[in-house]
C-alpha cells in the first residue's frame, strides 16, 4: 500500500512538499453554516426501511456521489462489478445486508453499486484521530475524516471530486431505539457502517485505515472464497456500539475479532486513563498504545502509519499534529484546541471532509471542512 500511495502521488502531483502552517488558534468557533445537520435512524424500524427518512432529502446528491465512483470504472468493469457486488451483497451479515438493499431501493440504483459504495470505505479512508484527557479527567476524542484519494482530481478547482461530493451528504446520525439515543455517529448517507461514533456515557470510537501489504483486498478475497469468520471494519464498529456496554467490553471485542481489513481503532472511555490505539492486522493485534497520565502521556494521535514507524516524507501529518497538540497543553485540551489542531495544515488538507469532536458526556459535534489553496492534496 505504501508503494501504491507513493507511485500514485508521483504520477498525479510529482514529488510534492507538504503545506505546513503555524499552529492555528483562530478557527474556533467555525461558521454556523458548516455545522453538520442531524438525522435520526430508528432502530425499531425494519432494516430495509430504517434509513428511508434520512436518505430521501439527500437522494440526488448520494446518486451523484455513487456516479463519481462508477465513473472511475470503464463499462466492462462496471458490468462485472454490478454482478460481483450483487453476489457479494447476499453474503453480508444482517442487518447490514437488508439496510443496503433498502438504501438501494430508495436511491433507485442497482444493489451491487450501493454495496460497492459501502465497501469503498474499507479501502480508501485517510484520517487523523486524537484522544486526550484534560486536567480535570475529562476525555476528548476528535478526528478528521479524509476521503477521496485518487478518485478524480478537478484541475480547475484544485479539489478531489469525491471529497466535494461527500461534503453534500455528511451528517450526524442519531441512532435511536424506543425514542432514546443508543449511539451517535458522523457519517456519509448511504453508508451503513460507522467510522466515527459515540455511545453516550460509555465510550467513543474512531477508525483509521492502516496501510499494510495485507490490506483489505486480501480480506475481501478470503470472504469471497467462503471464509466468513472476519468482520467488515465499519460493521464491526456498529456491532460494538450495539453490543458493548463499557470501554473494557469494546476494547476486548476490537482486539479479538478477526478483520477483513487492517485498521487502527482509537477508543476512549468515561474514566481517567481510558484511551487507546489498537493497531490491527487481519488476524491479530500488532500493537496497543494507551494513555498514561502518571507518565504525562495525556494524549494520543494516530494518522495512517504504525506508531512505532516514521511516517513517509510525502504524508507526515503526525509530526505537525503533535507539535500543535503540545502547543496547547493539557490544561487547554478541549473542543476549541482540538478543532484548531485539526484545522491546521497538513492535518487539514484537500481530502478533509469533516472534523468531529466527541465526549461521552456531551455527545458528538461535527463540522464540514474545506481546505483552500495552497493546500496539500492529502
The answer to whether 285 and 278 have CB atoms below 8 angstroms apart is yes
Closest CA to 131 of 270, 310, 306, 320: 270
Q: For residue 205, what are the CA distances in angstroms to 83, 180, 265, 278, 356?
A: 34, 20, 7, 11, 11
The position carrying cell 490544561 is: 331
- Determine whether 324 is an active site residue: no
- Can you tell me the distance from the alpha carbon of 227 to that of 94, in angstroms, rounded to the nearest whole number? 17
Q: Is the dihedral of CA 118, 148, 307, 261 positive or negative?
A: positive
Closest CA to 129 of 332, 317, 368: 317
- Can you tell me the distance from the alpha carbon of 308 to that of 168, in angstroms, rounded to the nearest whole number? 36
- Can you tell me the distance from the alpha carbon of 344 to that of 313, in angstroms, rounded to the nearest whole number? 18
Q: For residue 175, what is its C-alpha cell?
A: 441512532
The position carrying cell 448511504 is: 190
Bond prior to 65 in cis (omega within 30° of 0): no
Active-site hit among 23, 127, 324, 375: 127
The position carrying cell 477508543 is: 267
Q: Annotated active-site positions, please? A: 127
Amino acid at each position: 500500500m505504501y508503494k501504491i500511495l507513493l507511485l500514485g502521488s508521483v504520477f498525479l502531483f510529482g514529488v510534492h512538499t507538504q503545506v505546513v502552517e503555524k499552529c492555528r488558534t483562530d478557527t474556533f468557533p467555525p461558521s454556523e453554516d458548516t455545522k453538520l445537520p442531524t438525522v435520526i435512524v430508528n432502530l425499531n424500524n425494519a432494516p430495509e426501511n430504517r434509513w428511508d427518512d434520512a436518505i430521501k432529502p439527500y437522494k440526488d446528491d448520494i446518486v451523484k456521489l455513487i456516479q463519481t465512483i462508477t465513473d472511475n470504472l470503464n463499462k466492462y468493469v462496471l458490468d462485472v462489478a454490478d454482478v460481483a457486488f450483487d453476489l457479494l451483497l447476499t453474503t453480508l451479515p444482517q442487518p447490514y445486508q437488508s439496510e443496503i438493499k433498502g438504501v438501494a431501493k430508495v436511491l433507485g440504483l442497482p444493489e451491487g453499486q450501493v454495496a460497492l459504495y459501502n465497501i469503498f470505505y474499507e479501502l480508501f479512508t485517510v484520517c487523523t484521530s486524537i484522544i486526550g484527557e484534560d486536567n480535570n479527567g475529562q476525555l476528548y476524542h476528535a478526528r478528521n475524516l479524509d476521503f477521496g484519494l485518487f478518485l478524480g482530481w478537478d484541475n480547475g478547482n484544485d479539489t478531489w471530486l469525491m471529497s466535494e461530493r461527500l461534503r453534500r451528504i455528511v451528517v450526524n446520525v442519531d441512532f435511536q431505539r424506543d425514542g432514546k439515543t443508543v449511539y451517535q455517529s458522523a457519517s456519509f448517507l448511504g453508508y451503513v457502517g460507522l467510522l466515527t461514533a459515540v455511545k453516550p456515557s460509555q465510550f467513543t470510537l474512531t477508525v483509521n485505515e492502516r496501510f499494510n501489504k495485507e490490506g483489505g483486498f486480501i480480506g475481501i478475497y478470503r470472504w469471497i472464497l467462503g471464509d466468513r469468520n472476519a468482520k467488515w471494519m465499519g460493521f464491526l464498529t456498529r456491532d460494538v456500539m450495539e453490543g458493548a456496554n463499557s470501554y473494557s467490553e469494546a476494547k476486548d471485542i476490537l482486539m479479538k475479532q478477526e478483520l477483513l481489513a487492517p485498521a487502527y481503532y482509537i477508543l476512549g472511555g468515561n474514566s481517567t486513563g481510558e484511551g487507546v490505539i489498537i493497531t490491527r492486522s487481519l488476524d491479530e493485534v500488532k500493537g496497543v498504545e494507551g494513555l498514561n497520565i502518571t507518565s504525562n502521556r495525556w494524549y494520543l494521535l494516530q494518522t495512517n502509519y504504525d506508531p512505532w514507524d516514521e511516517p513517509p516524507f510525502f504524508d507526515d501529518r503526525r509530526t505537525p499534529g503533535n507539535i500543535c497538540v503540545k502547543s496547547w497543553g493539557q490544561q487547554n485540551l478541549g473542543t476549541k484546541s482540538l478543532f484548531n489542531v485539526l484545522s491546521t495544515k497538513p492535518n487539514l488538507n484537500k481530502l478533509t471532509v469533516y472534523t468531529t469532536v466527541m465526549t461521552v458526556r456531551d455527545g458528538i459535534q461535527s463540522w464540514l471542512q474545506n481546505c483552500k489553496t495552497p493546500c496539500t492534496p492529502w
